[in-house]
A and B are shown apart, each in its own frame.
Chain A
Amino acid sequence: MIERTRSIDIAARIILIVGVAFILAPLVIAFLTATLSYEQFVRNGGITLQVGTHFLDNLAYIWTETALPAQLWNSIVISTLVAAIKCAFAFTATFALVFFDNRLNRIVFGLTLVTVMLPLELVVITTYQIVANIAMPLNWILALTGLGEITGLGSDLRLSLLDTYVGVAAPIACASTSVFIYRQFFLSLPRDLPKAAAMDGAGPWRFMWDILLPLSWTPLVATFMFWFIGGWTQYLWPLVAASTPDAQPAVVGLARLATTEQDRIPEVPMLMTGALFVSFIPVLLIAVMQRQIVRGLNLSEK
């Protein structure tokens, strides 16, 4: 199209530059500060554009003197668990919802829908109770039916998942947004696909594994990375579910470093190094894989 677009293009360019500057500002400030030694920082007395030479020293300090490296590993495990559970469970369930003729479809879909509207953070108090003793529902059954007395189990079984990877990851994995994304995708597939598979002698399991799974690779990979990042950035739940530094993910570890040293002058360059240290994996992931993530989530569907 040939038309005069000068004024709007200039405006668009200004908006983009200002927007990118706003996004980058805290990251750049964090990085510049992370390159300074504490003495340099105190001498500067604030934010300057000076690039120091101490970034590697600060990083070495974080690596050897804090719990952050171990907590980075915790983050990796927890986020992978969250993403794996969210993708796998939602995949099989959505397969059932779309390709099975069952009266329960509406109810199952409704039950997963509610989990999207009420985020975990709203109910941490009571989620903590159940994770502190996952046998609680079993105890109710034992007590109500009297089975506890008969079998001699009693009704006071205890099994705490606090401070474990599964205990931290499972409640985060409850929000079943994946079901919507997969459902949208499955519904866009040809409707006769399972019929064709049946003619070739493939049952539902075979169909799911050999046909549906390879077809769904794009949305599966995208959602996996998206939930990995989502698990990584969780804060409130891991904060209460993992009370020991050994079990905490990196984001919680960083916040503890920042808030427990209030009374003395904060070691700002170290904190900024830590903030970059706990953020680089997910940021790298989103920067490199952005196209796949955005396309796979199919956010553009109408």
Chain B
Amino acid sequence: MQKGFYSGRWTYAALVAPILVLIFLFFYVPVGLAFFWSLFLERPFGGGSQFVGLDNFARVLSDAEFWDALKRTAIFMIVAPSLAIGISLMLALAADRGLRGSSAARNIIIWPKAVAGASIGVVFVFVFNPFLGIFAPLNEIWPGFWNPRIDGTDAFITIVVAQVWNGIPFNFIILLSGLQTIPDTVTKAAVMDGASPWRRVWDIQIPLLTPQLFLTFVLEFVGTVVEAFGLIDTMTEGGPGGATTLLIYKIYVDGFKAYDLSGAATQTVILMLFVLIMVALQFRLEKHVKYER
């Protein structure tokens, strides 16, 4: 870190105090409490807590529903970000060519960023409705072809599509601005060597985009774990038969519907560790990636 100019201690304290008080109260205390309740059991019928060691973890880890939810979360974490980033990459490469009308396209592609998952979930429920939605004509030809209310896979697909729709803008912005910082000289040199525009996509643009691709993957991984909640709650409520119950939704149901504070806190701790391990793994991966330009 660069050495600062000022040195007054009290001024320093006054400047950093607001954010520290805020994140202490509303971030660190909740995180600490989650760890606390994962080791304690709330006494039924009023107040108090009882230390139970790792019993909560044993209970959660022996619950098949927990493992199912974790497995679905992992699948969702791989499928949705891959699609969102892959599509965003193609769109960014296309928009970067600066064709006529592409600035309008660029503007529209960002819009979903401003639409809440829960709001677009309400719309997608209707769009994917088996009798009223876009697949209704297909259902008339092949009855039972599409029904997210009964078929778990169909329901999972609807959540993925909605998540991808919501996730495109942010990845698109990051990747497009990454493309725009690729120095002109590199492109020109490649042209001199006779590299066609198609060739340059593979050999210049995508390799030089590695830092941005890495960034989008880290952010999407963390994002999809929690953003899916608004979609699940408005589209499937975890069903059918738990097919779309990701861990974040299960924690909500356990904590706020079943009032199982310790169980929900324990799963929260596990999910936090899961996210942190994922992020750490990705940063380890980053070390093997070369960024030199």
Contacts and interface: CB of A to CB of B under 8 A. Distances in A.
B113 to A, nearest CB: 6
A251 B227 CA distance: 14
A229 interface: yes
Given A3-B197, A96-B16, A105-B1, A13 B94 contact: yes
B118 A235 contact: yes
B105 A20 contact: yes
Contact of B230 (A24, A92, A236): A236
Contacts of B121: 255
B237 A259 contact: yes
Given A118-B31, A255-B233, A106 B109 contact: no
A1 B211 CA distance: 27
A93 B15 contact: yes
Nearest to A41: B132
Interface residues of B, number: 106
Interface residues of A, number: 113
Interface in A69-116: 85, 88-90, 92-93, 95-102, 104-106, 108-109, 111-112, 114-115
Contacts, number: 324
A121 B229 contact: yes
A122 B22 contact: no
Contacts of A99: 4-6
B112 interface: yes
A151 interface: no
Contacts of A268: 126, 132
A115 B265 CA distance: 18
Given A98-B4, A123-B272, A236-B252, A229 B122 contact: no
Interface string A229-262: 1001111100110000000000110110011000
Interface string B90-104: 110111010101100
Most buried by B among A88, A205, A290: A290
9 contacts: A16-B101, A16-B102, A47-B133, A93-B18, A101-B5, A108-B16, A121-B229, A136-B29, A259-B233
Interface string B14-36: 01101110110111111101100
A174 B107 contact: no
A122 B115 contact: no
Given A101-B5, A234-B116, A19 B110 contact: no
A100 B108 contact: no
Contacts of B211: 302
B183 to A, nearest CB: 11
Interface string B128-142: 000111101100000
B12 A102 contact: yes
A299 to B, nearest CB: 5
A89 B99 contact: no
Nearest to B200: A8
B288 interface: no
Contacts of A16: 91, 94-95, 99, 101-102, 105
Interface string A29-52: 110010000000000011100000
B264 interface: yes
Interface of A: 1, 3-5, 7-9, 11-13, 15-17, 19-20, 22-27, 29-30, 33, 45-47, 85, 88-90, 92-93, 95-102, 104-106, 108-109, 111-112, 114-115, 117-131, 134, 136-137, 170-171, 173-174, 176, 179, 187, 191, 194-195, 198, 204-205, 229, 232-236, 239-240, 251-252, 254-255, 258-259, 266, 268, 271-272, 274-275, 278-279, 282-283, 285-287, 290, 294, 299-300, 302
B23 A112 contact: yes
Most buried by A among B1, B3, B133, B198: B1
Contacts of A22: 165
A130 B3 contact: no
B159 interface: no
Given A124-B252, A275-B123, A279-B114, A11 B25 contact: no
